[in-house]
Amino acid sequence: MRRVYLDHSATTPVRPEVLEAMLPFLKDEAFGNPSTIYSYGREAKKALDEAREKVASLIGARPEEIFFTSGGTEADNLALIGTAAANEKKGRHIITSSIEHHAVLHTAQYLMRHGFKITFLPVTPEGLVRVEDVEEAITDETILISVMHVNNEVGTIQPIKEIGHLARERGIIFHTDAVQSVGKIPVNVDELNVDLLSASSHKIYGPKGVGCLYIRKGTRINPILHGGAQERKRRPGTENMPGIVGFGRAAELAGQELDSEMERLKGLRDKLIDGIMNRIEDVQLNGDREKRVATNANFSFRYVEGESLLLSLDMKGICASSGSACTSGSLDPSHVLLAMGIPHEVAHGSVRMTLGRDNTEADIDYVLEVMPEIVARLRSMSPLYNQR
């Protein structure tokens, strides 16, 4: 059966070039610990430095401002908890949005239980944070603002540059979770006015279990793990060499191919969106139509259960998701769609399709061919649809 993978925001396959770069570090060829002084160690240290340069280059940072972590989740935890711990004498107020990934949302809730005051900003019906709302939420106690660059569920691109400008004027540390923007749109830490930025390897065709936090020089932040002096004492533990080398190679390739690949995917995305909207009734596109990454389409089908739709798509070999991978399996509708003011019953019928390198025009044709039949069949079994 044909298989169409449309869940690239959940994870991506490791590119062959990336695997090739990693292999020596998984074998006895290059197993050294980069903290040691003999040849194996020096070789590892050199590869570590090169990977750091490649990741730094993708986001316009200096290599010494990149701190490797076990992924996007750890980077977000370090950004929030590390900043809170280092700045709590200055104030105990943090501003974030209500549509963040759980790695930020649940970390903010954890800090709330430990005496920090958190503002969860609302969003517009299109899923955008308003800069005016950020400005209004700032108090003398505010030490950190954390707003994601691109939302993982609806693909909206947030006004990071403007929020960063505001934060800098007020002397507040600014973090962005850029896991879904890096490799999809140009990301430059200076242009965006950010002090902290999270990225993850497995969302850009690198291996899972590795990511980084960019920390602008001079930013006050404490480590959250304690141990050795690795990563300039910000993140102890012997480095995940195969992972970091793979992440570096993935970052290098993402930078080289960004423009051409995103132009191509935008064409496929628009074909998918227009095709679904034209072929099926009672469907809405979630998220802003323009301020949106080239890879994301998110629809709500009225009178359809999202989970049933996903199962039917799976039977046709189409891999999609109901929002974030982390919430699939639970029947609660997405916190992002609810924050956008989408009613529960509509949010329940939502499907996210996220495009990537392996997708072709024929994949979209196939989805557009099978989707109307599936939706019609599910609706024919829905009492609500028949009574409408």
Ligand X SMILES: *Cc1c(COP(=O)(O)O)cnc(C)c1O
> With contacts defined by CB under 6 A, how many residues of the chain interact with ligand X?
15
Contact range with ligand X by CB under 6 A, out of 45-53, 155-163, 174-182, 287-295: 174-182
The CA distance from 191 to 160, in Å, is 9
Burial class (CB in 10 A: 0-12, 13-18, 19+), 106: middle
Binding site feature residues for pyridoxal 5'-phosphate: 72-73, 152, 180, 200-202, 238
Contact range with ligand X by CB under 6 A, out of 67-75, 135-143, 243-251, 311-319: 67-75
Contact range with ligand X by CB under 6 A, out of 22-30, 122-130, 196-204, 302-310: 196-204
The CA distance from 358 to 43, in Å, is 34
Position 153 contacts ligand X (CB under 6 A): no
Taking the least distance from each CB to ligand X, the nearer of 9 and 87 is: 9
Residues 18-57 as x/- pattern, contact with ligand X by CB under 6 A = ----------------------------------------
Position 211 contacts ligand X (CB under 6 A): yes
Options 54, 108, 158, 177; binder of ligand X; rule CB under 6 A: 177
Contact range with ligand X by CB under 6 A, out of 47-55, 176-184, 214-222, 244-252: 176-184
Position 146 contacts ligand X (CB under 6 A): no
For residue 216, the minimal CB distance to ligand X (Å) is 20
The active-site residue, picked from 23, 137, 325, 326, is 326
Tokens for 276, please give them.
């679904």
List Cβ neighbours of 359 (8 Å cut-off, separation of 6 or more).
Answer: 4, 5, 6, 265, 268
The CA distance from 243 to 264, in Å, is 28
Position 207 contacts ligand X (CB under 6 A): no
The CA distance from 89 to 87, in Å, is 6
**Which has the closest alpha carbon to 364: 279, 287, 246, 240?**
279
Position 58 contacts ligand X (CB under 6 A): no
The CA distance from 305 to 337, in Å, is 15
Binding site feature residues for [2Fe-2S] cluster: 326
Taking the least distance from each CB to ligand X, the nearer of 203 and 302 is: 203
Contact range with ligand X by CB under 6 A, out of 40-48, 199-207, 304-312, 335-343: 199-207
Position 152 contacts ligand X (CB under 6 A): yes
Position 200 contacts ligand X (CB under 6 A): yes
Taking the least distance from each CB to ligand X, the nearer of 103 and 262 is: 103
Binding site feature residues: 72-73, 152, 180, 200-202, 238, 326
Residue 114, amino acid: H
Position 148 contacts ligand X (CB under 6 A): yes
Taking the least distance from each CB to ligand X, the nearer of 312 and 324 is: 324
Whether 326 is catalytic is yes
Taking the least distance from each CB to ligand X, the nearer of 72 and 164 is: 72
The CA distance from 78 to 338, in Å, is 27
Position 189 contacts ligand X (CB under 6 A): no
Taking the least distance from each CB to ligand X, the nearer of 103 and 147 is: 103
Residue 313, amino acid: L
Residue nearest ligand X, Cβ-based: 72
- For tokens 């903290």, the residue is 35
Binding site residues, ligand X, CB under 6 A = 71-73, 76, 101, 103, 148, 152, 177, 179-180, 200, 202-203, 211
Active site residues: 326
